[in-house]
Amino acid sequence: MNDVMLSVKNINKTFKTKQVLHDVSFDVHKGEIMAILGPNGAGKSTTIRNIMGIMYPDDGSIIFHNSAGAQIPRNKIGYLPEERGLYKNVKVMDILLYLADLKDYPLDRAKERALLYLKKFDLEGKENVAVEELSKGMSQKVQFIASIIHEPELLILDEPFSGLDPVSQDVFKQEIRAIADAGTAILLSSHQMNLVEEMCDRLFLMNQGQRVIYGTLDEVKTAYANFKCTIHGTNERSLYEQIDHVERMEILDDVATLYLEKNVHVSSWLRQLPETLDIRELVIDRISLHEIFIDIATNKGQTIDSEEGDIHA
Amino acid sequence: MRNAMKVARWELKRNLKNKSFIIGLFLTPAILALFLIVPSLFSDDEVEDVHLFITDELNIFDTLTDIAEGEGWENVTIEETNLDHDSMLDVVFRESQTAYLEITEKHMDEGSIPLYINEDVDDSFTFQVRSLEDPINLIQLERLGLTQEEIETIASGVSFDMTYEEDVGASTNEGEVIIESDGLFSGDDPLKRAVPGAFAGIILFSIVMSGMMIFQSASQEKKDKIAEIILSSLSPGELMQGKIIGYFALGLIQVFVWIGLAIPLVMWKFDIAIFEYLFVPELIILLAIAVLGYLLFAALFVGLGATMEDVSTSGNFQGMVLMLPFLPLIFLGPILSNPSGLIAQIGSYIPFTSPAVLIIRLTLLDVWPWVEIALASGILLVSVWIFMKLAGKVFQVGILMYGKNATPREIWRWLWM
């Protein structure tokens, strides 16, 4: 888990006059799933394209630790870009073997793995079918197989779940986890916070080209995800306002969500709730990654200092 | 280069498995062959016998029949007639396959002998019967009282005795007249130049056409959004090189299939020993020009393809670039009338027209303008290098730009990035 596979160090990138990446730095370790998150236009895909050598940073460095020399070890990297597709009028097996060949992977082994994964993704018997005859979901699965067919040491997945139905999302989730457990370092970009929360070991949240949060999921939650208490019951707003240690509240019909202060002691706080409070249901948990993300995307999270955001490096 | 060859192999394999390519590969020569064969099936090669009546007031009938025999007139029956002018006209206009030659003292004096031909008679007869003009001219000269010696002098006429500088070489004798000539098929066998020229022309046409497929390939790669996946394994330069090599090989396969089908047909139809004319040293130069032409257009098209996602929405700029291979057509007329003229020379120095113009000129010219060839090839070579560099820059940025076609302004900006 501590073997660093990839280090991105202080990369900057400017398009025309707009700086799209500001001192972006993070590491990806062997066997972990590292999520790179952020709203649209945050700079995630640009960061990934810089790692892949599709474009180059203005300054900073990208280091592949298992590779000698300055060249990007393309053969050791698997890449599933956000904007992706396949040649339409070729057979599934032909394209998988072509992409494996480009990675210098032995073709007989590639064929074996292709058949194995086609079976795993419920595409058995589709190897001689033209890509244009596949559904969107099937095509997504073939693209995913193409990115892992050569047993990469580093796998970069840019929005791997987009366009997938929940069943396929689960299949992908399990497979990504299995690949990471087998030792592959995975850098994953996604908007689906629930999936990221379930899967990733560490995350790098960025906005407007800058790091906002960086650390393990637990560390991020501890540092940024305060507790929130959701109460179902018929109560006056004034009654909620009497409760201490509440930063803000949202009340919708009979459901009130109380966002608690950072260092509140939950059990003590629960004991001081008014006895007259009508409680049909009460849930207390931390703010989800999704809510943190929304805060960031709507600029509520801009108050987080970039240094403060460096939880774990 | 290894990756470029992998891309080339893939492009080749992908197209060779493509049904529309295979159909086009065999359909094009089939259509051409159809154009060549079908008209001859409907044309009537059997020329019917013509009955030529002659009124002979000069007693030269035997001489004329001897000439006809000597010329091998197998389909003409010559008969002397004593019928008068009107009766003979009646015969000629009434009976098909008849003609009437009226050789009288009066017409000889006037210098014009009427020949009446029925409308059914084949045009080739008029060329055939002209071989009788010379002996009748000699008889006219005899009638003027010239001596045999004078007649022979007049009959032999005056002609230029062509001597080319290259034949004389440096040892030209002083006083010997050297006639400069364009050498347009001057006395030599026209096929000597035409066959290698046509071969190189077909190769240029075929590989430039397959070069246009590069445009579609790059454009399709953008549309299918596979470019970024491919570029995770190799550099944009390797991808571009691979496409250029792959489509070059595809063009060559196409041309060899076409020529493989065409040569037996041409040998059968025209009875020409094509291989003797084809495998000459000049072919190497013609092929080199064709290959340079391909590389120029391939660079242009691969760059252009990377700027467009959908050919149907191409703007005027892209449309104009796609028309560039057809630019030499505007020079065709002037080149055919004067292959060494100013227009032909200008066409040889413009990179987009130079491959086709040079091939046409060198096919027509018996004496090659080596200085012009060297200069034009040099310009072409430098242009290929420049366009490859520019195409590389456009390809690198354009292939990853999704969702819209690039504007000329954007392309211009990419060139200087």
Nearest residue, CB atoms, B226 vs list A75, A77, A85: A85
| Contact: A87, B400; criterion CB under 8 Å | no
Mean pLDDT of B125-149: 79
The token duo for A163 is 């366009």
- pLDDT tier for residue A149 given thresholds of 50, 70 and 90: very high
pLDDT digits (tens, 9 = 90+) for B43-56: 655 667 888 888 88
List the helix and strand counts (H, then E) for chain B: 20, 4
Rounded percentage of chain A residues whose pLDDT exceeds 70: 93
Q: To probe the interface with A, which of B228, B409, B416 has the most A CB atoms within 10 Å?
A: B228
| Contact: B232, A52; criterion CB under 8 Å | yes
**Å from A9 to nearest chain B CA?**
21
pLDDT value of position A306 = 39
Burial string for B199-225 (b: 16+ CB within 10 Å, else e) reads: bbbbbbbbbbbbbbbbbebbbbbbbbb
Rounded distance between C-alpha atoms, residue A244 and residue A269, angstroms:
8
Cα B40 to chain centroid distance, Å, stands at 21
Mean pLDDT of B241-257: 86
Q: Provide CB contacts within 8 A for B188, sequence distance 6+.
A: B366
Average pLDDT, chain B: 78
Write out chain A residues lying below 8 Å of B3, CB-based.
102
Nearest residue, CB atoms, A77 vs list B224, B232, B400: B232
- pLDDT tier for residue B182 given thresholds of 50, 70 and 90: very low
pLDDT digits (tens, 9 = 90+) for B281-340: 778 888 888 888 888 888 888 888 888 776 666 666 777 777 888 888 888 888 888 888
**Å from B271 to nearest chain A CA?**
44
Nearest CA in chain A to B1: A102
CA atoms within 13 A on the CB side of B243: 33
The CA distances from residue B314 to A140, A255, A305, B305, in Å, are 29, 56, 48, 10
CB atoms within 10 A of CB B154: 12
**Å from B228 to nearest chain A CA?**
7
pLDDT value of position B159 = 63
**Do the domains A226-286 and A4-221 match in fold?**
no
CATH architecture of A226-286: 2-Layer Sandwich (3.30)
Write out chain B residues lying below 8 Å of A147, CB-based.
229
CATH architecture of A4-221: 3-Layer(aba) Sandwich (3.40)
The answer to whether residues A32 and A5 touch, using CB atoms and an 8 Å cutoff, is: no
pLDDT value of position B47 = 63
The token duo for B78 is 């010559």
Mean pLDDT of B183-208: 67
Q: To probe the interface with A, which of B21, B226, B399, B404 has the most A CB atoms within 10 Å?
A: B226
The answer to whether residues B259 and B19 touch, using CB atoms and an 8 Å cutoff, is: no
Q: What is the ipTM of this complex?
A: 0.78
Sign of CA dihedral B405, B410, B416, B417: negative
Stretch 13-42 of chain B: residues touching chain A, C-beta under 8 Å? 13-14, 17-18
Write out chain A residues lying below 8 Å of B18, CB-based.
89
| DSSP state letters, B312-363 | GG--HHHHHHHHGGGTTHHHHHHHHH-TTSHHHHHHHHSTTTHHHHHHHHHH
Q: To probe the interface with A, which of B21, B233, B235, B396 has the most A CB atoms within 10 Å?
A: B233
pLDDT value of position A92 = 93
- pLDDT tier for residue B162 given thresholds of 50, 70 and 90: low
| Contact: B234, A74; criterion CB under 8 Å | yes
Superfamily of segment(s) B50-155: Periplasmic binding protein-like II (3.40.190.10)
pLDDT value of position B171 = 44
- pLDDT tier for residue A270 given thresholds of 50, 70 and 90: very high
pTM of the model: 0.69
pLDDT value of position B71 = 75
The answer to whether residues B250 and B12 touch, using CB atoms and an 8 Å cutoff, is: yes
Question: C-alpha angle with apex A15: A11 to A17, nearest 5 degrees?
Answer: 110
Q: Where are the domains of chain B?
A: 50-155, 190-415
Write out chain A residues lying below 8 Å of B220, CB-based.
87
Nearest residue, CB atoms, B226 vs list A86, A89, A103: A86
R_g of chain A, CA atoms, integer Å: 23
Rounded distance between C-alpha atoms, residue A42 and residue B65, angstroms:
101
Whether residue A178 is predicted with pLDDT greater than 90 in this model: the reply is yes
Mean pLDDT of A142-168: 89
Rounded distance between C-alpha atoms, residue A201 and residue B226, angstroms:
30
Whether residue A286 is predicted with pLDDT greater than 70 in this model: the reply is yes
Rounded distance between C-alpha atoms, residue A140 and residue A221, angstroms:
32
Q: Where are the domains of chain A?
A: 4-221, 226-286
pLDDT digits (tens, 9 = 90+) for A11-43: 999 887 888 999 999 999 999 999 998 888 888
Q: Nearest CA to B178 among B162, B159, B199?
A: B162
Whether residue B175 is predicted with pLDDT greater than 70 in this model: the reply is no
Whether residue B369 is predicted with pLDDT greater than 70 in this model: the reply is yes
Whether residue B185 is predicted with pLDDT greater than 50 in this model: the reply is no
